[in-house]
Structure 1
Amino acid sequence: MSIASSINMDESSGITYLNIDNDFAQAKISLYGGHVLSYIPKSDATERLWLSPHAVKNGDKPIRGGVPVCWPWFSDDHGRAKGDLPAHGFLRSQVWKIVSSQDTPEGTELNMSPSYTRADGFEYDCDVTLTVFVGATLTLSLQTVNKGLVPFTFNTALHTYFQVANIADVQLDGLIGDYKDKNDNWAVKTTPPDYRIEKETDRIHLDPAKQVVIKENTKPFTRINSSGHDSIVVWNPWQGAASISDMDAFGYKHMICVESACTQNISLAPDEQHTLTQIIHPV
Structure 2
Amino acid sequence: MSPVNSVTVSESNGLTFLDVDNALATARISLFGGHILSFVPKSDNKERLWVSPHAYLNGERPIRGGIPVCWPWFSDDHGREKGALPAHGFLRTQVWKLIGSKDSDSGTTITLSPSFSRAEGFENDCSVTMVVTVGKTMEVSLITENTGVAPFSFNCALHTYFHVEHIQQTCLKGIKGQYKDKLDAWALKETPSPYTITGETDRIHLEPIKTAEIEVDGSVYTEVVSHGNDSLVVWNPWQGAASISDMDLFGYKHMLCVETSLTQGKTLTPGASHTLKQTIIPR
**Fold similarity call, TM over 0.5:** yes
Please list the CA deviations of residues 67-89 of structure 1 after superposition, one character each: whole Å capped at 9, or x if unmatched: 00000000000000000000000
Please list the CA deviations of residues 123-163 of structure 1 after superposition, one character each: whole Å capped at 9, or x if unmatched: 00000000000000000000000000100000000000000
Q: Equivalent residue of 2:56, what SS?
A: coil
Indicate the RMSD between aligned Cα atoms, in angstroms: 0.4
2:277 is matched by which residue type in structure 1?
A: T
2:38 is matched by which residue type in structure 1?
A: S
2:278 is matched by which residue type in structure 1?
A: Q
For 2:23, the equivalent position in structure 1 comes to 23
2:175 is matched by which residue type in structure 1?
A: L
Q: How many positions carry a matched residue from both structures?
A: 283
Please list the CA deviations of residues 191-219 of structure 1 after superposition, one character each: whole Å capped at 9, or x if unmatched: 01200000100000011110000000110
- CA distance in 1: counterparts of 2:47 and 2:2, whole angstroms: 28
Q: Equivalent residue of 2:209, what SS?
A: coil
Unaligned runs of 5+ in 2: none
Segments of 4+ moved more than 4 angstroms: none
Question: Normalized against structure 2, the TM-score is what?
Answer: 1.00
Matches within 5 A, 1:63-142: 63-142=63-142
- CA distance in 2: counterparts of 1:162 and 1:99, whole angstroms: 27
For 1:247, the equivalent position in structure 2 comes to 247
- CA distance in 2: counterparts of 1:35 and 1:88, whole angstroms: 13
For 1:35, the equivalent position in structure 2 comes to 35
Matches within 5 A, 1:172-191: 172-191=172-191
For 1:206, the equivalent position in structure 2 comes to 206
- CA distance in 2: counterparts of 1:236 and 1:2, whole angstroms: 38
- CA distance in 1: counterparts of 2:149 and 2:217, whole angstroms: 52
- 1:2 offset after TM fit, Å? 3.0
Q: Equivalent residue of 1:208, what SS?
A: coil
1:272 is matched by which residue type in structure 2?
A: A
For 1:280, the equivalent position in structure 2 comes to 280
1:19 is matched by which residue type in structure 2?
A: D
Matches within 5 A, 1:39-50: 39-50=39-50
**1:238 and 2:238 matched:** yes
- CA distance in 1: counterparts of 2:95 and 2:60, whole angstroms: 12
Q: Which deviates more from structure 2 when the two are superposed, residues 131-140 or residues 2-11?
A: 2-11
- 1:3 offset after TM fit, Å? 1.0
1:85 is matched by which residue type in structure 2?
A: L
